[in-house]
Structure 1
């Protein structure tokens, strides 16, 4: 049995014989219109692809910059924390020794400044126990002979009291050291907190 009856017949039927033939000019116009349409579609595709590419590059650049920023901050924080033992020894050992060595010199400097304000007035320096000889050795020879250095049991190390006439001044190197230590502790705390939040 044949299956020809199932297939469509594409032969020209006598009533469908109206073929429309184009002349050369009409055919050229159709070709140009098709070219323009294809060119426009291609141009739009190229512009769209370029915008997508630009957007993708911008996103990748933003991510890369963000990663670099994060990496830099993390590296800076880690470096700061690795220096913590050195900074801790500076605060605990070096600064106290430096302040201790400069204590007598600072007293003399303050005393000279006060003496200029109140000329020919008796001068007294009250220092912690055990510091009298060190301070006396640093006193300038041209100070008036009425300068006296006395121990005061209530004064803590790093503190002193100066008196010239009626003017008094206190010197407290230990509070400076305490404030430096507190600032260092706050910095280390913030650095550790920033590293923990990453």
Structure 2
């Protein structure tokens, strides 16, 4: 039972109407309702701000990754193109010189491999003109029977034919150099195309 009838009434009369003062319980309920409404609105604002922030961060991260990928590929392509002079000097100067120096040794090595498979069979080495002395100086003296060395004017630089018994091999270092040079050219061409398409 309420004790309101025992207490003095402080209701204020304004312009003929009564202003009702809230009791403590009603005031507390109104405060809780206002707090919950404010808390809910704040929570909704925070969730919306977080979603916007996530969307912005995701977009910025995606753009950064895309820029990094483009920059990386562009850098690799430019590096490849900067190596073009090195590729040219390798295929036009260094490799031909290395093959030229190792040509005779390569022929003798292959001849010895063939001789192991066919013991005591006649051996022939056909080389380009002017190369017989280089090859002859590298043939082992204990190789039996001694191979016959023939200079063949139809053979170009880096070419030779080996025969042991019925087995034959052709050596074509110039074809190897050509294929290496084509591979370098193709690699550089693809790099240029990739750079022009970016």
1:140 matched to which residue of 2?
Answer: 140
Deviation of the 1:176 alpha carbon: 1.0
What is the 5 A alignment of 1:101-180? 101-180=101-180
Offset from partner CA, 1:87-108 (integer Å, 9 cap, x none)? 1111111111111111111100
Paired with 1:178 and 1:192, the residues of 2 have a C-alpha distance of 21
Find runs of 4+ consecutive structure 1 residues off by over 3 angstroms. Answer: 18-21
Paired with 2:141 and 2:33, the residues of 1 have a C-alpha distance of 109
2:35 matched to which residue of 1?
Answer: 35
Indicate the SS of the match to 1:162: strand
Matched, 1:45 2:35: no
Deviation of the 1:76 alpha carbon: 1.4
Q: Given the two structures, how large is their TM-score scaled by the length of structure 1?
A: 0.89
Deviation of the 1:22 alpha carbon: 2.7
2:94 matched to which residue of 1?
Answer: 94
Paired with 1:167 and 1:192, the residues of 2 have a C-alpha distance of 45
Paired with 1:59 and 1:141, the residues of 2 have a C-alpha distance of 76
Paired with 2:97 and 2:146, the residues of 1 have a C-alpha distance of 30
Deviation of the 1:21 alpha carbon: 4.0
Offset from partner CA, 1:41-70 (integer Å, 9 cap, x none)? 101111211121122112111211211111
Deviation of the 1:193 alpha carbon: 0.7
Paired with 2:58 and 2:158, the residues of 1 have a C-alpha distance of 60
Paired with 1:94 and 1:61, the residues of 2 have a C-alpha distance of 47
List alignment gaps of at least 5 residues for structure 2: 1-13
2:64 matched to which residue of 1?
Answer: 64
Deviation of the 1:24 alpha carbon: 2.0
